[in-house]
Amino acid sequence: MRIIKLSDQDRDMKNREMVDDYFINYLPGRNGECFYVPKGFISKDNFAAGENLVFSYKTEIVYLASAKSGILDTDFSERDENSFPYYFLVDISSITPASGSLSDLESELEKIGVLYNVGKDGSKVPKKITSQGWASVSIPEKLKNKEIEILESLKKGNIFDFKVRKSLKDSPSVRKKRLKLAARKPEKKLVAVYVYDRNPDVVAERLFKAKGVCECCDNSAPFLRKSDHTPYLEVHHKKPLSEGGEDTLENTIALCPNCHRKAHFG
């Protein structure tokens, strides 16, 4: 497990909103999965593909992911190479919003007895992830299930749900401007199978228009989401994307879970 502390001194992360934009838009898109490493922050021989990554911002845990590569050399201009001599690839499909604090994570790691460095004499020296740089926490194979439990407890939904919540915070006029410019058919990404890169604005606008009422049975949403206390409805494509349907408002409807199941199986 690697703790990566993001800094508001970085021009791309001056505030929390910019951090979200970095993980949602910049890292998967223009930056092409590359996370650039400031000089002196990490050892090239102490980082590997598959390593679990915990990103924090001002002591708060904000995102989880896994590394897709080890440390690689940059191919920038001399000026940038001096500032960011290395980079690694992030597995974009693994990015997940998270919550909690570094001190809480530190406490959980202390409970399973893994938060220490080994001194030259073989003694165990306590490690503090809250005060050190990009700390690496070595977790034995026999405790990997504990690591998974800790990481799962930090997760805060998936990245698409997060994009929808972020879109819902925008005004309808802002969403509509984006919708006018958006592709009518979503991009497909190859993971294990093809999945559709759905437009979060379509989901957000459809939920906004529904105002918490199922657009099939006209009943109120059956419950509120635990995460943000909004009415729980599911956005359904009338003509499935897999059959060439468009990812548009006209091709969607907000349904309660019961009507959604009925739409698929009734």
Q: Which residues contact residue 199 at a Cβ distance below 8 angstroms, ignoring those fewer than 6 apart?
A: 179, 182, 183, 186, 247
Q: What is the mean pLDDT of residues 139-157?
A: 89
Pairing type for strands 52-57 and 60-66 reads: antiparallel
pLDDT of residue 233: 96
Q: What is the mean pLDDT of residues 145-171?
A: 86
The separation between CA 149 and the C-alpha centre of its own chain, rounded to angstroms, equals 17
pLDDT digit string (tens) for 77-110?
A: 655 666 788 899 999 888 999 999 999 999 999 8
Tell me the domains of the chain and their CATH numbers: 2-154 (3.10.590), 159-265 (1.10.30)
What letter does residue 189 receive in the DSSP assignment? Answer: E
d(CA 163, CA 203): 10
Per-residue b/e over 156-171, b at no fewer than 16 CB within 10 Å?
A: bbebebbbbbbbbebe
d(CA 26, CA 28): 6
pLDDT of residue 192: 55
Global pTM reads: 0.68
**Of 254, 250, 252, 265, which is closest to residue 219 (Cα–Cα)?**
254
pLDDT surpassing 80 at residue 9: yes
Pairing type for strands 72-73 and 86-89 reads: antiparallel
